[in-house]
Amino acid sequence: MRLNEKDFRDKVLGCWIGKNIGGTFGAPFEWKRQVNNVEFYVQELNGNPLPNDDLDIQLLWLAAMEQQGIGISAASLAEYWCTYVTPHWAEYGTGKINMRSGLQPPLCGTFRNDYKHSCGAYIRSEIWACISPGLPHVAARLACKDAILDHGDGEGSYAEIFMAALESAAFVEKDLHKLIEIGLSFIPTDCGVTKAVRTTLDCIKSGKTWLETREEVLKLHRGGMISFHVCDEDRKKGFHEGFVGYDVPSNIAFTLAGLLYGGDDFGKVQCVAVNCGEDTDCTAATAGSIWGIIHGAKKIPQKWIDPIGRGILTIVLDLGDIGWMIPKDVDNLTERTVKLAKQNLLINNSEAMCSPEPTDISDLNTSSLKCHDNGKELIDRMRMPTFDFDLFTVFVDYGDAPVIKPGIPKKIIVRMAHTRSFQANLSFHWYMPDGWAVSPSSDAYALSIQSGLGGKQLNLEFELSAMKLGKSMNRAVLEITIEGRPTVMLVPITLLNGSVMG
């Protein structure tokens, strides 16, 4: 699978220009449940785009990877989030509050987060796709690390994984229907995002107009709109009612509606996405980026570029000591994205961008781009903190919530999966706060045998208990060592004080 480097750079540039256009075009209509009727920008722009969180956090991730490498962990991304991401509202704010309370990903995105099914994650999927051209499995895995920060085990994480896989494949496949199926293969068949996408595809197959598709999506997949505008016509249909925070399925549907009804016409793609209403800056921006990846920057009409120029403005970043690393225009962003992509392709032994000349990729077998278990591994990482060590991956299952109450044992399940092919004698030791107890013992031992020799994933159950809790956040550490090796795996355990929680 090979992609000409010149064409790749044009596609990356198309992605970022399309993102900037859509975010600016859709901004004035954001979070209005109504049918819009616009054909072009409605604001005075004077050669500048509007700042937009759709792009901001991706600029931060670019800088983070340049500083710490492409394999940066979710825990490290959380550190950048706590330092540089400013919003205190909805999923952004809940995730940050939980991070600052000490909760690790994905717990920070799940715990008491009414907006984990909202739109904040899928809008930042492009960076992972652009550094993983033709590698949707890699893009999905990277996107998962990002999404769980503020969406945990919610639909918002499924949405980002879906989009990142689709966008990665879009570098080597142009058929939108095939791309959608590739994206869907990475998420559960019964999740809300999948259902909304299927509704959209069914509507198009049956010959419905985009307006009819919009209505069908809102009938079946809408969220609530307590603090946002709902037009009288939609209110009469009952569209003002719904679960507040359940926003991403319908907006994913409207993003795809723009692409499917707009086809090769960039302007029509933008207009359908925005005229469907809802989170219009997000739907138009993501539709614009996907269109840009498929067609390249050269195909984006100049009339859409001229009003906003090529600059980038930020709004939700505290630039502080990292401002000098944040790209100021789409050209710098593109060049730095391409450099990271080359590194990522080498890391993953891919030849996706080896060809110096234009290459025909029309005979690509798209089945090789699909995930064949609907993202089972990623789903585990959405549910519980995951620690990747040299020899093992350790999962910590907190059950219902990362909370402990005085005098009530808290069950913790530690799951261990091999990453290498050998058996190991494992020793476990708990370091606990004063006055705490662990059952069955603070020390444990286990023989781990790789699956190739008939072994199974280890599942060890412990119960932690304390009669008194003096802190809001309580921390313990599980030390795992391997006899005969220098390996030390330190697994942090964080539990909120549940004394006054309902």
| Pairing mode, strands 424-431 and 473-482 | antiparallel
The CB-side HSE value for 38 (13 A sphere, CA atoms) comes to 23
Please tell me the total count of domains within the chain. Answer: 2
Give me the CATH number covering residue 476: 2.60.40.10
Both tokens assigned to 150: 């503020």
Q: Verify that 391 and 360 share a domain, yes or no.
A: no
Q: Verify that 117 and 241 share a domain, yes or no.
A: yes
Domain presence at residue 502: no
- Give pLDDT, residue 356: 54
Domain interval for residue 411? 385-497
- pTM score, whole prediction: 0.96
Q: Verify that 321 and 441 share a domain, yes or no.
A: no
Least confident of 44-48, 105-109, 423-427, 472-476: 423-427
Task: Out of 376, 393, 411, pick the residue that ends a domain.
Answer: 376
The CA distance from 367 to 136, in Å, is: 12
Q: Verify that 254 and 309 share a domain, yes or no.
A: yes
Q: How far is CA 128 from CA 12, 220, 276, 326, in A?
A: 12, 30, 27, 17
Domain presence at residue 216: yes
- Give pLDDT, residue 452: 64
Give me the CATH number covering residue 75: 1.10.4080.10
Q: Verify that 389 and 245 share a domain, yes or no.
A: no
Q: Verify that 178 and 131 share a domain, yes or no.
A: yes
Q: Verify that 132 and 254 share a domain, yes or no.
A: yes
Least confident of 210-214, 406-410, 422-426: 422-426
Burial class (CB in 10 A: 0-12, 13-18, 19+), 253: buried
* Residue 81 pLDDT exceeds 80: yes
The CA distance from 250 to 406, in Å, is: 42
Domain presence at residue 94: yes
- Give pLDDT, residue 420: 80
* Residue 358 pLDDT exceeds 60: no
| Pairing mode, strands 403-404 and 488-497 | parallel
